[in-house]
Structures are given as structure tokens and as C-alpha cells.
Amino acid sequence: MSPSEFVFLACGLTLGLFAGGALIEVFRARPAAQREVRVTVSAGPVGGRAATLATPLLVSELVHGRDDVFAPEAGATERPFGRAAREPAREPARRLGPTLAPALAPAFAPAFGSGPGTAHAEPVDPCAAERAGTDEACAHADRMAAVAGAAQERARDARRAYDEHAGRRDRAAAAVDPRAIRAAKDEAQAQFRRGRLAGQDRAAVEAAAAAWLREINRINARSREAALVMSREARVEVELLRAVEKAGLDVDVARIHSEHAAEACRDARIALAGCEEAERLGSAARELVTPGTPPQLAPGDEAAPKPPAAAGEDVAILRLLRGDRATMRSIVERLAGSDSDGQRRWQLLVSDLVDAIVARAIDASALSFPEDHVFWGPYTQSECREIASAMAALGYRFDGLGGFADGRVPSQRDLSLALGYAGEDPMRIRRWPTEADMPALFRDVRVDAGRYLADTAGGLTMGEMVDLLGRRAEPLAELWNAWGRVRPLLVDAP
């Protein structure tokens, strides 16, 4: 180190020592901060009783004299301390702590719950969670149904492309078949011979030869083109088959997901219907809903009435199945009120439900047969239903109006086959219906939809109804979403 550098470092060290000592003296000269608490003492609401913030006050004193407690007297000085010095003022209940807040609640209630412009609590929907879950699950089911439909459309397109390929390949294979080529050339040769024998001069023979040559060239050109098509189709066939198989797998996956989503939507609707109906039926029905399970009313419980099976008892759904217009009008008015558009919408929904139940009863051959009929009379009601089911399996269905669906009338041979399929002996028939009598075979037959509904869906729960109607339940989604409101009206006795 050179002498000049040593001098420079010594000067810097000296200046640093002087500056540090000056700073220490400045800080030492400042007065120390003293921690102090100033307390304001004022008279309490009870005469002569003095209190400080450390003195416990009675609740009655706080309630009746809160102005004296929270507002300092004139001339009194107060210095906040602790956290109160850094935060804005809070409401009285919070400043006094959670212990006194319940006691002060009645005193401060008028300031928050009355007067113009104050907010009022809205009624709580007890089924809000179930309704939100239903909307979400059914929206997901609709999306998955659209995905499944798109997958089916792609599968149809892939299959159509493969079928077109198969058609081109088959036509090309027929064109390059050696036997077909030989037959076409033999036919051209025979045509040339016929033209040569019919020709009167050399020009006619030359024309026949030229025609034969053109036909041979056409056959050869067609064979070469067919060979090219075969080669091209052979290259794309593997890809087309792979596309068909992949589309089939996509359809299966989308269908399974759609079915699961539809099942989840159905469970959510059952839960919503059970919650709404439990709310309507009161606390007795709510006890039927156990935690962790969908709130669905049990068919056998007293709180879940079902269409009666005993004679003389009648409920709204049975009257609707008989075509009672007064019952329909009453249910629609109770559902829609005075809204005309709502009445039309609900009448359409309830009518669709009745039509679906009747159609399902016809499919199940839930029919009532006349006992004095020439053909049906010798058989019991159950035997008649078996015969009607066998006829429906052969394509001769009851249309619900006393005739055959689609105008398809069976012959005596078809009726004999139906009897055999039903386990009956055709030899028991003493008088067969003639061909003229056959169209009127179902004339006096009636649909026993009420009995069928009571036997298969006696509780009239949404799960039972969806199982009963099958595919016919899908267009009634709006009705199922409000089944908790609709079902009590359908099981209501007059």
C-alpha cells in the first residue's frame, strides 16, 4: 500500500468516527416516550354512581343510558388507547364484546329493522339447495345428451362413408373379374360375327370390325380403371374401418355418460320433489327425510298418500284418467292461479301425463274386456289380456278407441296364432269372428289405466312414475321439476 492511500484511509476513518459520535449525541438528547393511559370519569345513568371503563356496568344501565355511556360529556377529554387508537369506531355491541351483544340486541333492533328504506329479510327457500342441484344436474344431462347425439351423427357419417367405399369396391371388383371381362369380350365377338354375316359389302364388314375393336378397347379401359379404383379403395379401407370402430366406441362412451347424467338428473328431481312435498306436508313429512339420502317420500307412509285400491275411494289422478274436466280445471287453477298463459301450459303438461299413462297401460294390455262378448266372454280377464298381448306382439295393437292401431286388422289365422302364443287352445272357440267382424273385435274393450297405475306406481312418486312411463317420461321434464307441487294435487281426494 502506498503512503497516499494510507493517508486517504486514515482521513476517512476519522471522519466516520466524528459523524457517528454526533448521531449518538442527537438521539441521546431526545426525551424518552412515556406510556400513559388517560381515563375519563363521568356520572352513570343511575344517580350518583360513578363509573370508569374498568368498572362493570349493569345491562339495564347500558340499555337505558347508552347515550351517556357511548357519548362523553361536554368538556370531558378522552384519549383512545390500544387498538381503538388505530381503528374506526365500531357498533356498540361489538365495542362491548359478545357477552353483552345479546342483551343489547332488543334495544338496537328498531334502529335496524323499522322505518322507511330499511331492508327486510326475504323468506328462505328450504329447497334452494335441491333446486340448484336439480338445475345443474339436468343441465349437465342435456349437455351429455347433445354430446351423445353428436357422437351418433358422427358414427352414421363414418358408416355412410364406409358403405359408399364398399359399393365402389364391389363395383370395381365386378369390373376386374376375369369371368366378367371374358363374357364381355365374347359378347363383343359375337356381335362382330353377326355384323359380318349381315354385311353385304366390304364396308359393312369393316364397320363391324371397327365396332368390335371399340368395344374391346372400352372393356380394357374399364378394367384398368377398375383396377386403379380397387387399389385406391384398398388403401383407404383400413382408415375407414378404424374410423367406424372409433365412432362406435365414442357412441358407447357418450351413451354411458348420458345415461349416468340422466340418472343423476332423475335423482336430483326426486330429491327436489321430496323436499317440496315434505315442506308442504309439514314437519311430519320432514321426519321421513333422512340425512345422506334423497328426500323421497316412502309410498307406504301415512304422509305419502297413494291412489287407493278400494272401491268407493277416488283421487284426482283417477278422475283425470276417466276424463273428468272439472278435476283438470281445478288442478290447473291451483297450479297456475289466474295466469292464463300458465294455465294453458299446465293443462298441456297434465294432459300429456294422462296420455302417457293411458298409452303405457295399452302397451301393457291393461284392458277391461266385456264378459258377454262372443269371443272374449269364455275367457277370464287375465286370459283376455294375455291374448291381447300376443296379438300386439304380432303387430295388431289396440288403439284405445275400440279399434286396431294403424288400421292393421288380424285375420282368423293371426287370431289363432295369438291364442296359441297365449297358451290357449284354438279348438275352444265355438264361433270364430268372421273377416267382417274382426275390425270390431276391440269395440267394447276399455283401458283400465287407473287400476294399472295403482298396481304399478301406487305411491305416485317421481321415481315410480319415471319407471312406469319409460321413454314417455322424457318430454315431461318440466312436470318432473315441479313434481313436489303436482303430486299432492294428484293424490288429493274429493
Same domain, 437 and 479: no
Quote the CA–CA distance of 440 and 402 in Å, as a whole number: 7
Flag whether 273 is in a domain. no
Q: Which of 244, 259, 274 is the last residue of a domain?
A: 259
Q: What angle do CA 380, 385, 390 make, to 5 degrees?
A: 125
Cell 339495564 appears where?
60
What pLDDT score was predicted for residue 31? 61
Q: Is the predicted pLDDT of residue 251 greater than 70, yes or no?
A: yes
Closest CA to 356 of 486, 482, 473: 473
Secondary structure letter of residue 432 according to DSSP: P
Flag whether 38 is in a domain. no
Helix axes 128-175, 202-281, angle to 10 degrees: 170
What pLDDT score was predicted for residue 432? 82
What pLDDT score was predicted for residue 263? 87
Q: Is the predicted pLDDT of residue 40 greater than 50, yes or no?
A: yes
Question: For 19-23, 113-117, 120-124, 468-472, which range has the lowest pLDDT when averaged over its residues?
Answer: 113-117
Q: Which residues contact 441 (CB under 8 A, 6 or more apart)?
A: 375, 404, 410, 433
Same domain, 387 and 333: no
Same domain, 355 and 463: yes
Q: Which residues contact 397 (CB under 8 A, 6 or more apart)?
A: 362, 391, 404, 405, 406, 408
Same domain, 425 and 465: no
What pLDDT score was predicted for residue 307? 46
Same domain, 389 and 332: no
**pLDDT band at 9; cut points 50, 70, 90:** confident
Contact 376, 382 (CB under 8 A): no
Q: Mean of the per-residue pLDDT values for the chain?
A: 75
| H/E element, 447 | strand 446-447
Flag whether 109 is in a domain. no
Q: Is the predicted pLDDT of residue 79 greater than 50, yes or no?
A: no
Query: Three-state SS for 474?
Result: helix
What pLDDT score was predicted for residue 67? 43
In tens, the pLDDT along 98-112 reads 443 343 333 434 443
Same domain, 134 and 185: yes
Flag whether 306 is in a domain. no
Q: Count of CB atoms within 10 A of residue 129's CB?
A: 12
What pLDDT score was predicted for residue 35? 59
What pLDDT score was predicted for residue 281? 67
What pLDDT score was predicted for residue 92? 41
Same domain, 405 and 475: no
Q: Is the predicted pLDDT of residue 299 greater than 50, yes or no?
A: no
Same domain, 402 and 431: yes
Q: Which residues contact 13 (CB under 8 A, 6 or more apart)?
A: none
Q: Which residues contact 103 (CB under 8 A, 6 or more apart)?
A: 59, 62, 63
Query: Three-state SS for 328?
Result: helix
Same domain, 335 and 383: no
What pLDDT score was predicted for residue 115? 47
Flag whether 278 is in a domain. no
Secondary structure letter of residue 121 according to DSSP: P
Flag whether 115 is in a domain. no
Q: Which of 234, 259, 284 is the last residue of a domain?
A: 259
**Count: domains in the chain:** 3
What pLDDT score was predicted for residue 30? 64
Helix axes 178-198, 202-281, angle to 10 degrees: 140
Quote the CA–CA distance of 319 and 357 in Å, as a whole number: 13
What pLDDT score was predicted for residue 462? 83
Same domain, 240 and 196: yes
Q: Is the predicted pLDDT of residue 178 greater than 80, yes or no?
A: yes
Contact 252, 147 (CB under 8 A): no
Contact 318, 297 (CB under 8 A): no
Q: Is the predicted pLDDT of residue 302 greater than 80, yes or no?
A: no
**pLDDT band at 15; cut points 50, 70, 90:** confident
Flag whether 106 is in a domain. no
Secondary structure letter of residue 398 according to DSSP: B
Percent with pLDDT over 90 in the chain? 13
The C-alpha cell of 408 is what? 292393421
Quote the CA–CA distance of 101 and 484 in Å, as a whole number: 41
For 281-291, what is the mean pLDDT? 46
**Which residue type is seen at 451?**
R
Q: Residue-wise over 18-38: b if at least 16 C-beta within 10 A, else e?
A: eeeeeeeeeeeeeeeeeeeee
Closest CA to 219 of 191, 193, 180, 190: 180
What pLDDT score was predicted for residue 33? 56
This prediction has a pTM of 0.52
Q: Is the predicted pLDDT of residue 228 greater than 60, yes or no?
A: yes
Flag whether 92 is in a domain. no
CA distances (Å), origin 289, targets 71, 131, 293? 53, 16, 7
CA distances (Å), origin 152, targets 189, 252, 343? 52, 9, 38
Quote the CA–CA distance of 320 and 316 in Å, as a whole number: 6
Same domain, 322 and 382: no
For 224-235, what is the mean pLDDT? 80
Q: Which of 213, 237, 259 is the last residue of a domain?
A: 259
Range of the domain at 321: 316-364+451-490
Same domain, 390 and 341: no
